[in-house]
Amino acid sequence: MSGAHAGDGARVGVVVMAHGTPERIEDVESFYTEIRRGRPPSPDQLAELEGRYRAIGGTSPLNATTRAQAEGITAALERKRPGRYVVRHGARFAAPRIEQAVEELADAGVHRLIGIVLAPHSSYASVKEYERRLDDAAATARTRRHRSLPLTMVDHWYDTPGFTELVAKRVRAALDALPPKDEHTALVVFTAHSVPARLISAGDTYAEQLAESARAVADASGLTHWTVAWQSAGRTDEEWLGPDIREVIVEQASAGTTAVVVCPVGFVADHLEILYDLDVEACAVADKAGLSFVRTASFNDDAAFCEVVAEAVLAADTQ
């Protein structure tokens, strides 16, 4: 892939990417099968996942939120560089797909592409998979149109100016929401989606990025009592990064902590991993352990968040 870009008068295509979610309960089986690389889930696995979606109202808001985020990023880029960017969003496992977004941008006559995933930290299991899909789609678009279409991928953007401060603001708001007796003694736990441990052994810097990001937010928030945990590990036989957030909650209760504030710093929108894995499952663990539980608010389509993502795109446009 090339990081070179056309002159300032050229239009740049921006592909904003996210995971995607089934639109209806009836779509969960095909969605789950695709995630499993074509292997259908067992009846028990399917029933469990359908139950999780029903527990959060039947569907996840992720697809609608991604559309709203893309619109917010478009508006922010237009304010910063009028007329330069054409933005489309594409998902790995929902419509519109990444490939569709690239085709639309190529049809619009953009001279290069910038890809960005709505995930602040990069892992072989996440951003690198999006990059592969985007690279393949760009190669197809080049072949069909017999012209160059250079691609730049934003690897990570947790260190983009403004991101740490936005997270810290939400941490402070969550602490303020605790009962007064817990506000100054609560443990803040920063979480992200777990990945197979073998990836870290292979050189993936995902865990290092999360640790750096959490430390920056803790410093900006003035925290002295905080830690990092993982969540939403896959149901496979291999080892996944830990400790799991549920284990941390139980351990903290045994250690005398009275409250936990969970900050899912690795996520930027409400979806199943937030609304169920944290708001239902982790909250139930905390309740059983006798701990107060608060989660920081997700960014969703917050305008200030969209400005940060736009800044990451602008930085990529100078490469």
Q: Domain coordinates of the chain in residue numbers?
A: 12-156+302-316, 163-295
What is residue 9's predicted lDDT score, i.e. its pLDDT? 55
Could you give the CA distance from residue 111 to residue 288 in angstroms, rounded to a whole number?
Answer: 56
Could you give the CA distance from residue 184 to residue 18 in angstroms, rounded to a whole number?
Answer: 36
| Equal CATH topology for 12-156+302-316 and 163-295 | yes
CA dihedral 77→82→84→86, nearest 10 degrees, is 60
Whose tokens are 């605790």? That residue is 178
CATH class held by domain 12-156+302-316? alpha beta
The string of pLDDT tens digits covering residues 270-281 is: 999 999 999 999
Whose tokens are 């049809």? That residue is 107
What is residue 6's predicted lDDT score, i.e. its pLDDT? 40
- Give yes or no for a contact between 176 and 183, defined as CB atoms under 8 angstroms apart: yes
**pTM for the full model?**
0.94
CB atoms near residue 258 (< 10 Å): 16
The string of pLDDT tens digits covering residues 160-196 is: 999 999 999 999 999 999 998 898 889 999 999 999 9
CA distances from 95 to 20, 68, 92, 99 (A): 8, 15, 8, 10
What is residue 164's predicted lDDT score, i.e. its pLDDT? 98
Per-residue pLDDT of the chain (319 residues; tens, 9 = 90+): 333 344 445 799 999 999 999 999 999 999 999 999 999 999 999 999 999 999 999 999 999 999 999 999 999 999 999 999 999 999 999 999 999 999 999 999 999 999 999 999 999 999 999 999 999 999 999 999 988 999 999 999 999 999 999 999 999 999 999 998 898 889 999 999 999 999 999 999 999 999 999 999 999 999 999 999 999 999 888 999 999 999 999 999 999 899 999 999 999 999 999 999 999 999 999 999 999 999 999 999 999 999 999 999 999 998 7
By the 10 Å C-beta count (0-12 exposed, 13-18 middle, 19+ buried), 278 is classed as buried
CATH T-level assignment (fold) for domain 163-295: Rossmann fold (3.40.50)
